[in-house]
Each structure stands twice: as C-alpha cells, then as structure tokens.
Amino acid sequence: MRLKWVLTCFAIILVHGQVLATDQEQKKEVAEDKAQVLEQKAAEKGSELPVPKSEVITPSEVQAVDPAGAAPLEDAITCLARSIYWEAKGVAGADMEAVASVVMNRLGHEGFPDTICAVVKQGSEKHACQFSWWCDGRPDQVKEDDEYTIAKEIARKALNKQLTDRTHGALYFHDRTVKPDWAKKYTRTAETRKFLFYKPGGDTAR
C-alpha cells in the first residue's frame, strides 16, 4: 500500500513538472514573438504611440526566456538582456537602463542595423565591436542570476516602450575610467554613476 502511495505521489510530481515545463516553453515562445514585433516597430521609428496591451511582454513571459543565461544570442530579448548584464551588472539600475536605451536608440538609426542582435554584434566581423563584451574572447554565459533577472526586466520595459530614456537619445557611451578620442567629436547628453553618454551632431552615426 505504501509503495502504491509513493508511486502515485511520484507520478503526480512528474506530471506537474511536465506541465510547468510546457507552460514555461509557451511563455518563452510568446515573449520572443512579441519581442520580434516590438523590435520591428522600434526600428521603423514611425510611431510614438504606447504599445497595445496585447503586445506588451509580461514579467513572467520575459523571465521564461533564457532562464539559465546560457542560450545563443539569437533573439531580441536575449541579446538586449545580455548586453545590459555584461555592460552594467553590479551597478545602479540607472546604468543598466541607460545601456538599454542606447541599444534601442541605435535600432534602425542610420549607420546601425535594424535588429537588436545585429546592433549588439555590430563590428565583430572587423574585430571592432561596438559592445566590447561581445568579442572580448571570454564566455558570454551569465554568472549572477539575480543581476540577469534585473537585466531581463529592464529589457522587457525597453521593448515595451516603458523605459524613460535617461540618455536623451544617446548613441554612444563609455566608462568614466577611460577617455576615448571619439568622445571629443560628439555632444555629451547624459551621465550616470558609471557611464558618460553622447550623440553626434546632426544625423551622422557610425
């Protein structure tokens, strides 16, 4: 009798686990599909209207994407979240949000690609990455789960157009500890605890 009870409990747990896994996979697919639509709209730069409720990525949906922080960078959420994480993990939320805004500002802008992953990977073919973490030769897997959870939530808000652009339209940024020559050519638009932000005069961007 006891063995039967144990087997029944095991079966219930197994079924419950399968249901949860299926639910997470469905949320992941929904989030990635929504992100692709929002990414395309952002690249068009045509509308400043709020994202319709049916297209908004929810917190539970975004957290179902790349839960281990080890997936290939092939979708908008993963590419954006991983950039936020690697560029600004361990610092204030303002820094992470500002990095997200720079990626979104570049999206579809003249001189930059029209997908988030292409923006993040731009320059790697010439060994001159726009985002240094992408071609620094180090593994890109996440190490701090809590920081990555925050990065994904910020990526969600950025795609949903729920994030205030504290960079004021910046297309470039650098760490306060360095002084790149290119910064002299551009106008500083904002600063956070860790970064300084810039945009070029006129519409020229490379």
124-134 pLDDT, tens digit each: 666 667 788 88
- Residue 136, in any domain of the structure: yes
- Residue 206, in any domain of the structure: no
For residues 63-71, give the mean pLDDT.
Answer: 94
Structural domain total, the chain: 1
- Residue 24, in any domain of the structure: yes
**Coil, strand or helix at 188:** strand
What phi and psi values does residue 187 have, to the nearest 5 degrees? -95, 125
Q: Helix axis angle, 145-159 relative to 76-88, nearest 10°?
A: 120
What is the 8-class DSSP label of residue 172? E
Q: What is the pLDDT of residue 3?
A: 57
- Residue 204, in any domain of the structure: no
- Residue 74, in any domain of the structure: yes
163 or 19: which leads in pLDDT: 163
Average pLDDT of the chain is: 87
14 or 178: which leads in pLDDT: 178
Query: At residue 188, does pLDDT exceed 70?
Result: yes
- Residue 118, in any domain of the structure: yes
- Residue 173, in any domain of the structure: yes
Q: Which domain holds residue 186?
A: 2-199
Surface-to-core class of residue 25, CB atoms within 10 Å of its CB (0-12 exposed, 13-18 middle, 19+ buried): exposed
